[in-house]
Amino acid sequence: MLGIGEKHELPTILLIDDDLVSREVIATVLTLHGHMVHSAEDGNEALQMLEGGSVAPGLVLLDTQLPGLSGSELIAKLRRLNQDEIILISGTTPSDELIAAADGFLLKPFAPEDLQNLLGQHRPKVDQTDAADADEVVINPSTLAQFRQLMTESTVREIYTAVVNDLHKRLDALEKAIAAGHTDEVRRIGHAIKGGCGMAGCMHVARLGAILESRSEYDSGIDQLDNYKHALQQLYSATQRLERMLEKEFPA
């Protein structure tokens, strides 16, 4: 589930909870208070989302009683995927060991204000400005390695050059669609970016395409325009990062 009305100072949230009602209620309430919210019903689904690059949360809300992979083992795997803000949520108080492994705990039911207060008390383990660039996967190394096994270096370069050229065209089209208020066209372009760049392993750009595709269905009015413009700026920056990486990977 993707949220509406994102406020740029609020972290994007990955909510991991196996209870459908809790998951939908928490996601809806946090969304209405300005968070972008993604949800997963178990640990394995959450890890697949993170490893695939479809989400890049600034905060993980983790239910303490999940089926299968859970608890300290799941937290450890989340840490290895650069998740530095993990807050436990539960209807009962978890063990001291589990609380110590996370960055905070909220007792269900909790209000958005409770989350904000907890975030204000917790200082992230790394500088978030630096981490934002460092954690984003520009090109999936596995995808790039597979291409290089199957094709010549010049052919691989041609593929990514075509991706960049296509992105520039879609960015121009996005700018026009946003200015005209054509939300269906914004969603269509976002979907195309997500699919094409995802196949090429350009995970950062693909994630932004997925956000554009989903966001435009829900937003309205001033919030919608602000979110579109912000996403467009992020796409421009991500495209520039992709170009810089290609210059390093495939020097002329």
Could you read off the pLDDT of 157-193 as tens digits, one per residue? 999 999 999 999 999 998 888 878 888 898 899 999 9
Q: Are 111 and 188 in a shared domain? A: no
Please check whether residue 239 lies inside any domain of the structure.
yes
At residue 244 the predicted structure's pLDDT band, cuts being 50, 70 and 90, is: confident
- Averaged confidence pLDDT in the chain: 80
Q: Are 108 and 210 in a shared domain? A: no
Please check whether residue 4 lies inside any domain of the structure.
no
Domain closes at, from 110, 133, 156: 133
pLDDT above 60 for 81: yes
Comparing 214 with 197, which gets the higher pLDDT?
Answer: 197
- Mean pLDDT in residue range 83-99: 86
Please check whether residue 65 lies inside any domain of the structure.
yes
At residue 215 the predicted structure's pLDDT band, cuts being 50, 70 and 90, is: low
Q: Are 18 and 49 in a shared domain? A: yes
Please check whether residue 1 lies inside any domain of the structure.
no
Query: Tokens at residue 218, please?
Result: 């829900």
Q: Are 49 and 76 in a shared domain? A: yes
Q: Are 82 and 162 in a shared domain? A: no
Burial classification of residue 22, based on how many CB atoms lie within 10 Å of its CB (0-12 exposed, 13-18 middle, 19 or more buried): middle
Domain closes at, from 133, 151, 180: 133
CA separation for the pair 140, 200 (Å, rounded): 8
Q: Are 115 and 200 in a shared domain? A: no
Contact predicate 53/206, CB 8 Å: yes
Contact predicate 39/87, CB 8 Å: no
Q: Are 96 and 148 in a shared domain? A: no
Please check whether residue 198 lies inside any domain of the structure.
yes
Q: Are 126 and 196 in a shared domain? A: no
Q: In what order do the strands lie in the sheet with 105-107?
A: 37-40, 13-16, 59-63, 86-90, 105-107
CA separation for the pair 41, 43 (Å, rounded): 7
Give which of 9, 8, 56, 31 is closest to 203, Cα–Cα: 56
Please check whether residue 7 lies inside any domain of the structure.
no
pLDDT above 70 for 131: no
pLDDT of amino acid 187: 87
Contact predicate 44/77, CB 8 Å: no
CA separation for the pair 250, 153 (Å, rounded): 8
Domain closes at, from 79, 99, 133: 133
What is the span of the domain harbouring residue 160? 136-249
pLDDT tens figures, 24-72: 888 888 888 888 899 999 999 999 998 888 788 888 999 998 988 888 8
Strand partners, 13: 37, 59
Q: Are 155 and 98 in a shared domain? A: no
Please check whether residue 118 lies inside any domain of the structure.
yes
How many domains does the chain fold into? 2
- Mean pLDDT in residue range 124-141: 53
pLDDT above 60 for 122: no
Question: What CATH number should be reported for the domain holding residue 50?
Answer: 3.40.50.2300
Residues with Cβ within 8 Å of residue 32, at least 6 apart in sequence: 4, 5
pLDDT of amino acid 216: 41
Question: What CATH number should be reported for the domain holding residue 142?
Answer: 1.20.120.160
Q: Are 152 and 242 in a shared domain? A: yes
pLDDT of amino acid 69: 86
Please check whether residue 227 lies inside any domain of the structure.
yes
- Mean pLDDT in residue range 137-155: 89
Q: Are 65 and 141 in a shared domain? A: no
- Percentage of the residues of the chain whose pLDDT score is greater than 90: 24
Q: How many CB atoms lie within 10 A of CB 44?
A: 15
pLDDT of amino acid 128: 38
Q: Are 81 and 168 in a shared domain? A: no
At residue 125 the predicted structure's pLDDT band, cuts being 50, 70 and 90, is: very low
